[in-house]
A and B are shown apart, each in its own frame.
Chain A
Amino acid sequence: MNAKRLEQILAAYGAKSERWPEAERPDALALLARDAQAQQLLRDARRLDGLLDSLPASEPTLDASSLAARLSERPQETAKVRSLAASRPRWRIPFIMPNLIGLAAAAVAGFWIGWTNPGTDNTQVAELVPYVADMNGEESLPW
């Protein structure tokens, strides 16, 4: 035990020796007994302890029995709920995957159709024309 370590102990745990690390307590007390500078550090720590001790602990205003009765009406966490909650992130991936696969398949199919049918046959368009409503209403549809 040296003065630096004693200073550290006082700075961390205060002046009451019962709060000090048990293994170091005897050496710390022995050093205090013979070292005037260490005794000054002890007085400083005691002053701060005194101030801290002036802050009281308040008694709880809650009644333990009624609090427990009220809270125990609430549902408890069950192992099943917990395991489902824990596995939620793993479930998200399979739900996303079909969407991604569908999107990719649609893109490939669209690309393939466009690539293999670069033009449109004009005769097919001509056949479709009578079935398109005339904008001025002068031409009736065939049905």
Chain B
Amino acid sequence: MDPAEDEELMLASGRGDRAAFAKLVRNHLGRSNAIAVRMLGSAAEAEEVVQEAFLRVWQKAPTWRKDGGARVSTWLARVIVNLCIDRRRRARSVPLEEVPEMADTAPGADDVLALEERRQRVAAALAELPDRQRAAVVLSYYEGLSNAEVAGALEISVGAVESLLVRARRSLAGLLADLARTEGVVT
């Protein structure tokens, strides 16, 4: 994702350029969806959040100001995280049966079962984290955003990001301690 291109696409979208908006959606759909799925633990709910987020992009575009502060990608990440947090506050439940599917790369049936169980445990552990800790892990660990970008998305100081990550990973380590012990290094 190129921030300069994002800006141009956003400004063009603001002028009603539907092709520019379509390109903006194409560029950001994958990451937006990944953030929402990991935040919510549900692909179906994530889809609704992503649609709402891109509607806001379209509606916001005419009043978007170049050099107005946040990058498009950071602003979009903030919109998605906030929509996910709002949604979770409204319905405090994460349906584990909707943990996203992945291409089967395990060699045997037992391994597939074990892998699926492990995924569900990890998804459940993530879901147990407080909203901001979970968002920090999703944005930093899974999406590879810099601390400055995570800080922009969560509207916190850059210094606070690291301590948020430390608390999140320590909680995850505690919640998944038995798995880590029994399965050893899993890469």
Chain A residues engaging chain B, CB cutoff 8 angstroms? 8, 11-14, 19, 21, 43-44, 46-62, 64-65, 67-69, 71-72, 74-79, 82
Interface residue from B18, B32, B99, B121 paired with A68 (Cβ < 8 Å) = B18
State the CA gap A71–B16 with chains docked (Å): 12
Q: Does B33 contact A (CB under 8 A)?
A: yes
Evaluate whether A64 and B185 lie within 8 angstroms (CB atoms) in the complex, with A51-B122, A54-B115 already known.
no
On whether the beta carbons of B29 and A69 are closer than 8 Å, the reply is: no
Distance in Å from the Cβ of B49 to the closest Cβ of chain A? 11
Query: 20 pairs across A/B with beta carbons < 8 Å?
Result: A11-B170, A13-B165, A44-B180, A46-B187, A48-B180, A50-B183, A50-B187, A51-B118, A51-B183, A55-B119, A55-B122, A55-B123, A64-B29, A65-B25, A71-B51, A71-B54, A72-B21, A76-B16, A76-B58, A82-B63
Evaluate whether A71 and B166 lie within 8 angstroms (CB atoms) in the complex, with A54-B186, A58-B101, A76-B61 already known.
no
Distance in Å from the Cβ of A74 to the closest Cβ of chain B? 6
Interface residue from B63, B101, B169, B183 paired with A79 (Cβ < 8 Å) = B63
Interface residue from A14, A55, A56, A77 paired with B62 (Cβ < 8 Å) = A77
Minimal Cβ-Cβ distance residue in B for A14:
B141
Distance in Å from the Cβ of B31 to the closest Cβ of chain A? 9
Chain A, interface SS category: helix
On whether the beta carbons of A60 and B29 are closer than 8 Å, the reply is: yes
Evaluate whether A57 and B51 lie within 8 angstroms (CB atoms) in the complex, with A47-B184, A64-B25 already known.
no
State the CA gap A55–B62 with chains docked (Å): 38
Minimal Cβ-Cβ distance residue in A for B58:
A71
